[in-house]
Structure 1
């Protein structure tokens, strides 16, 4: 099944242009529909300051928020025209927390396109948090880096495979892209063999499944105690010129990843190409 209904979360950052373009190219390739979502998030001030604000200041805040939303809509509309999607797109405004808004609207889409959090961004302006949205949305996320342009997504795909439920979910969710890809590299890093691991030939079972869907897939594994698994994955992305990573999100608890680190957290912080992730 192709991705026919995509939701892209738009904000007032410079990275929105690349994010919208990724959503548009996927929709154009699949004869799909794109919905642009912009969350209007008023600046929250302490109560004692809020109560003293003159009405003129409040009006200026509202006017500024409207201007930002209008610029975002113009950016979205221009991208839809470039990709021939004017008749297959719509614009939505939401109010409130952007992660909550994306979770709500994303449940009615096949794929939700969001941005990697830019650590340089003003922390006073809330943004969509992929690490929360992947739990709340119930749909696969395509997280686009905050730096770079991505003119073709899904031609050469790297699948991070560890045999987990989350990885299996991500592979199933990404099947429309995997089946159309020119090449799929299925990578197992430091795989555990045997019945409690992912077999004596790591990745062979899921590669066989993908091949039955017409995927041009090859399985490979890397065993090393010299390089961090996240760096190994990113090195493979570079070596194989991949333009997309597919992976499961949070195979262990989010708290444990926050304390000890983990692949999900690493990729959300260090991704170099778009990452499709599911939980």
Structure 2
């Protein structure tokens, strides 16, 4: 089973990686597409950089750096993975990645924002839950891990 594993470096995203590793450990024949989506550059960044290629390279490097902890966990667990760093609207870009790689399911972390905030701002996990044509598992970070990462 090919799993899309969006990763933003958050505690919830780390929990999602560990959940996918547990699925593989429980006998699920698993490969992973590890994805990070960078947002488009701001107008200020475009004005300061003067060169769109510089911004693209910095964005790609930031995404690749963000993926390193997840890649290490997957390598240590012996799970095959591919990595993808893209730029764009996170939910729509993740749906594109899901379709391009032929993923069978999504395992992703959720930040656990309040209902009001989710209603006003929307959330990537909520949007992906409704837009993906495959099962989506949403993993919340445990309070212990969240506290450890913010300390």
Report if TM-score (shorter chain) is over 0.5. yes
**Alignment partner of 1:109 is 2:103:** yes
The residue aligned with 1:143 is: 138
Residues 63 and 95 (structure 1), Cα distance of their counterparts in 2 relative to 1, 3 Å cut = closer
**Alignment partner of 1:15 is 2:12:** yes
The residue aligned with 2:30 is: 32
In 2, the alpha carbon distance for the partners of 1:32 and 1:75 equals: 19
**Alignment partner of 1:79 is 2:73:** yes
Gaps in structure 2 of 5+ consecutive residues: 115-120, 146-151
Bigger RCO (CA 8 Å, 6+ sep): 2
TM-score (norm 1): 0.41
Superposed CA RMSD in Å reads: 3.2
Q: CA deviation at 1:15?
A: 3.1
- Structure of higher CA gyration radius: 1
Kept in 2: contact 1:39–1:95 (CA 8 A): yes
Residues 67 and 77 (structure 1), Cα distance of their counterparts in 2 relative to 1, 3 Å cut = same
Gaps in structure 1 of 5+ consecutive residues: 121-125, 151-279
Q: CA deviation at 1:128?
A: 5.7
In 1, the alpha carbon distance for the partners of 2:59 and 2:122 equals: 14
The residue aligned with 2:148 is: none
**Alignment partner of 1:130 is 2:125:** yes
The residue aligned with 1:97 is: 89
TM-score (norm 2): 0.71
Structure number with the higher helix fraction is: 2
Aligned residues: 136
The residue aligned with 1:190 is: none
